Amino acid sequence: MKISNMAINNVKGNLYKYIMYYLSNSFAVMAFFIFSNFVFHPAFDYKNLGGHIVAQAGAINGMIICQVIIVVFSILFVGYSTSIFLRSRGKEFGLLSLYGMTRGQIKKYVMIESTIISFLSTITGILCGVVFSKLFLMAMEAFMDISLPFNISLKALILTATVFFLLFEVVSILMLFNIKNKEIVQQLKSAKIPKEVPKFSKKKSILGISLLVIGYVAAWLVKGALVVLGMIPVTVIVIIGTYFLFTQFSIFIVNKLNKNKKFIYNKINLVAFSQMIFKLQDTAKVLFLAAILGAITFTATETVYSFFTEVPKISGFDTLENMIIVQKKETFKDTESIDRVEEILKKHDIKVKKHHVVKSIEVINNSNEGSSETIDKTLVISNSDYNKLAISQDRESISVREGEAVYNFPYAVYDFNGKQEEIKRFPFEVAKLNLNGENKEYRVSVEVHGGIMSLNKVGYFDLFVLNDNDYNQILDIANEDDIVIYNGFNLDKWKESYDASMEIKEMLGEKYQLSFYSQVLPYRGTRKSFGMILFIGFFISFLFFIAAGSIIYFKLFNEIKQDKVEYGILRKIGATDRELNKIITRQIGIIFFLPFIVSTTHSLFALKSLSNLMERNLLANGIVVMLGYMVFQIIYFMIIRSVYIRKIDYR
């Protein structure tokens, strides 16, 4: 029999071992091809680039970064997976040596196997990529608001096939150096050498837990800019702690359980957990790697999903009112347009919950006169109008005396502890306000931080609140051109008001170009951008998720022959099929879900750090992502458990 025939028959006969390796590689190839096909799409030819050039360039750069991540990941994944395969086949290589095969022939035999799987993975990945490219392009059309007709790029095909086939082959060749000359007898007896009871270090176990506690406490407490500074050291601490958790502490816990007579002699626990300590020792490094991959996956998904859900707040266009229209000068008496705004909203089934109308006066702030700073225009409103707005927003009302003014700074600034800072933002004791050449001076008694109106969206920044009498005195000398009417609309379904806002914007025309703001317009564009990032990020995250499960799968199925012997012995001494299924379920369940639990815990604390940085509560987002991945994990576990039990065949 030729070596090539032996390799082909081995792949066929042990397909269950290779299936997850093959599928994981195929998924990586598929993702790379889809991104490549997008990058090489004719719509992104420089000759065809139009007004969306910035968005398109950003999307292309994002895809290229994703491609680099996939290639780097594939190198690490293929290398680690191949090394697991080779280490588990010592007995097989020993037999081949016994039958006369040289080390070179064994390497050729393994290389042919790898080439077959590499070829099949590449072809399958490209074919799946072709099938799903249309859906991907349709999604990108929606996110980027451009036309992307279906197209299969020959450059993408050649690039994907070349990169991945060469990558798989080169990594496989490098891994062949792990096949070393050993005594045939040593290789044949490797599976029969009795295992020693795993040893562990109490000091390392305590160190591992201590490092995790330190990392978690730091992630929970550190706030503000310190989050960024502490990110790398906390990550390193948690990774080291995780390694000791699996290699030392897990064995320590199982050892304690085995010594607990009440627990160990309870039904099938004696068999399940007496073997568990050996499985944990054999799979400790694999579980560690799966946990780290899982933590990366969950944290990345939670982060992108959090940005996606927090778009209105993190993008700076979250406002007190959902729609703002300012009337001044030529539009000062334009009541017809305001009436039509409400009609258009009603036509689109958008109800107006509140409509604030505030009359203010535009003045020149001369308080910094004589300094190098610019002189700014600002607004003044009456104490009564301020209090009406404050009550509607559940804020404290104020009382302004005659001859005094309250300065309203538009932003509330918080310190690292989440408390509002009381730093003085208006550096002068007296506000010098000029209207039509006449100066008025008011002593600034109080500052209020946090805008009472969303003025920064319609050309203003801050404002002063005056006593009603002082305000009326200024109003008496003001011209119509100095009056500014602020209309703030709170809508019940503002996220669904895009069409209405576009119609209103068109109706108002150029004269309201700088005086109209609708929250849904920037929200829609930014949400599309973050939606695209979430969509792309999910591809990469799901690749890591599959890889984390696949690594555990490799380890389980590469040791299935020895497990089959052990379960067969238990069957012969009287264990029922139901009891054996319970033992298998518990052992596989612990191996499979332990990294998942550690990963989700790591990611939730990482999300807490992000919450501290953004000053938002993102826990709900983390729970949503965790539950989503848990569904996949349970389905994955049930499939693998079913296949594993069929392959054991202990009857």
What pLDDT is recorded for position 404? 93
User: Is 80 exceeded by the pLDDT of residue 31?
Assistant: yes
Region of 316 please: left (phi>0), alpha (psi -120 to 50) or beta: left
pLDDT at 372 over 80: no
Q: What is the pLDDT of residue 51?
A: 44
In this model, does residue 397 exceed pLDDT 70? yes
Q: How far apart are the first and last CA of the chain?
A: 33
Averaged over 482-490, what is the pLDDT?
A: 92
pLDDT for 415 beyond 90: no
Residue 39 and residue 156: Cα distance in Å, rounded?
8
Q: Give the gyration radius of the chain's Cα atoms.
A: 34
Predicted confidence at residue 438, as pLDDT, reads 84
pLDDT band for position 49 (50/70/90)? very low
* pLDDT value at 309 more than 50: yes
Partners of 440 in the β-ladder: 433
Would you say 320 and 453 are in contact if contact means Cβ atoms under 8 Å apart? Answer: yes
pTM of the model: 0.67
Least trusted range by pLDDT, from 138-147, 187-196, 575-584: 187-196
**Residue 310 — very low, low, confident or very high, per pLDDT cuts 50/70/90?**
confident
- The two three-digit tokens of residue 633, written as one number: 């994990």
250/348 Cα distance (integer angstroms):
60
Amino acid at 392: S
* SS3 labels along 380-442: EEEHHHHHHHHHHCCCCCCCCCCCEEEEEECCCCECCCCCECCCCCCCCCEEEEEECCEEEEE
Residue 219: which pLDDT band, with cuts at 50, 70 and 90?
A: confident
Mean of pLDDT values over 189-197: 56
Res 226 pLDDT > 90: no
What are 112-129's pLDDT values in tens digits? 888 888 888 899 999 998
- CA 118, CA 112: separation in Å to the nearest integer? 10
Q: What per-residue confidence (pLDDT) applies to 102?
A: 74
pLDDT at 388: 92
Neighbours of 314 (CB within 10 A): 17
What DSSP state is assigned to residue 44?
Answer: G
- pLDDT reported for residue 503: 93
pLDDT band at 501 (very low <50, low <70, confident <90, very high): very high
Give the helix/strand (H/E) hosting 360: strand 352-365
**Which residues 6+ apart lie within 8 Å of 189 measured at CB?**
none
pLDDT value at residue 269: 65
Beta bridge partners of 486: 326, 358
- Specify the pLDDT at position 1: 56
Whether residue 373 contacts residue 459, with contact meaning beta carbons closer than 8 Å, is answered with no
**Most confident of the following: 227-241, 294-308, 349-363, 417-431:** 349-363
DSSP 475-516: HHH--GGGEEEEEEEEETTGGG-HHHHHHHHHHH-GGGTTTE
Question: What pLDDT, on a 0 to 100 scale, did the predictor assign at position 624?
Answer: 87
pLDDT of 437 reads 80
Confidence band of 457 (pLDDT split at 50, 70, 90): confident
DSSP one-letter string for 239-277: HHHHHHIIIIIHHHHHHHHHH-HHHHTSTTHHHHHHHHH
pLDDT band of residue 187 (cuts 50, 70, 90) is low
> Counting Cβ atoms within 10 Å, is residue 256 exposed (0-12), middle (13-18) or buried (19+)?
exposed
**Residue 324 above 90 pLDDT?**
yes
Q: How many angstroms separate the CA atoms of 583 and 579, rounded?
A: 6
Question: pLDDT digit string (tens) for 552-591?
Answer: 777 777 767 777 777 777 777 777 778 778 878 888 888 8
Taking the C-alpha atoms of residue 518 and residue 325, their distance in angstroms, rounded to an integer, is 9
Give yes or no for residue 47 having a pLDDT over 60. Answer: no
Average pLDDT over residues 358-382: 78
What are 51-60's contacts with CB under 8 Å, separation 24+? 52/144, 52/145, 52/146, 55/144, 55/529, 56/144, 56/146, 59/140, 59/144, 59/532
Whole-number Å distance between alpha carbons of 383 and 611: 37
- The pLDDT of 325-350, averaged and rounded, is 89
- Torsion, Cα of 34, 40, 44, 45 (10° steps): -170
Question: Does residue 101 sit in helix, strand or coil?
Answer: coil
Comparison of pLDDT for 303 and 94, the residue scoring more? 303
Instruction: Name the H helices within 40-102.
Output: 53-87, 90-98
Range of weakest confidence among 138-152, 450-464, 627-641: 138-152
| Average pLDDT estimate for 493-518 | 89
Q: Which of 284, 256, 260 is nearest to 598 (CA)?
A: 284
DSSP state of 196: P
pLDDT band at 204 (very low <50, low <70, confident <90, very high): confident
The rounded distance, in Å, linking the Cα atoms of 608 and 222 is 9
Give the mean model confidence (pLDDT) for residues 7-11: 69
